[in-house]
Amino acid sequence: MIAFIRKGPAHIPIHILQKKELEDMKKTFIITLAVLFVACFLKMNLFISPASQVNAQSPQEKREDPLPIAIKKFMEQQADKARRQHLEREQVHQIELQKHQIENLHKAAKHLEAAGAHDLAHQIHREAENRETKLRDHISKTRHHAHTPQQETHELLHHLKSEVQQLKMEVRELREVVSQRSPQTEK
């Protein structure tokens, strides 16, 4: 009657969970290194020769450096991911607790039937079935709304692409400023 719950992540052996967490950590580390590599590459100003470096912004127009902003956003995303994982573990614990309570209600109803309290046993069986139905609905809704690692990776990739596009636009603006100032210095 409650076997559907036993297939959830709570019954996955611990060594598999540890492997999954290690894989998540490896992926996070690789993504962090990739972001830092791209940021360092862009910071080295390889797109503009050292002779043509110019401070393209006036003091009034100074903007924040995009590297710390990107790192901050990445760290916030990682913290959000850790919070979601903690919430998932908490939800699994709550589901296991509810499953245990339902099993105990069915056991109590059997004991009441054996004791001759058939009406009370029938009420308790109905209560257990109602709880089981609510739990199934909750599990199906949770699975439906859960983000998969592929979706999170896709969102992160989309975010990184937009950051790269923004940086390309800024480099293009710097090139324009440098090209505008170059004819002025030749005169």
174 Cβ contact list (under 8 Å, min separation 6) = 47, 48, 54, 56
Q: 65: closest CA among 32, 34, 42, 35?
A: 42
Domain definitions of the chain by residue range = 5-46+67-169
- Tell me: pLDDT of 75 over 80: yes
Across residues 52-81, what is the average pLDDT?
70
Q: Which residue has the higher pLDDT, 19 or 130?
A: 130
Reference 105, options 138, 135, 140, 137; nearest CA is 135
Q: Which residue has the tokens 């990107």?
A: 70
Token pair in block for residue 99? 């499953």
Give DSSP secondary structure letters for 120-140. Answer: HHHHHHHHHHHHHHHHHHHHH
* Residue 5 binned pLDDT confidence (cut-offs 50, 70, 90): very low
Predicted TM-score (pTM) of the model is 0.40
Both tokens assigned to 167: 């940086």
pLDDT digits (tens, 9 = 90+) for 141-176: 877 665 566 777 777 888 888 888 888 888 888 888
Q: What is the pLDDT of residue 39?
A: 75
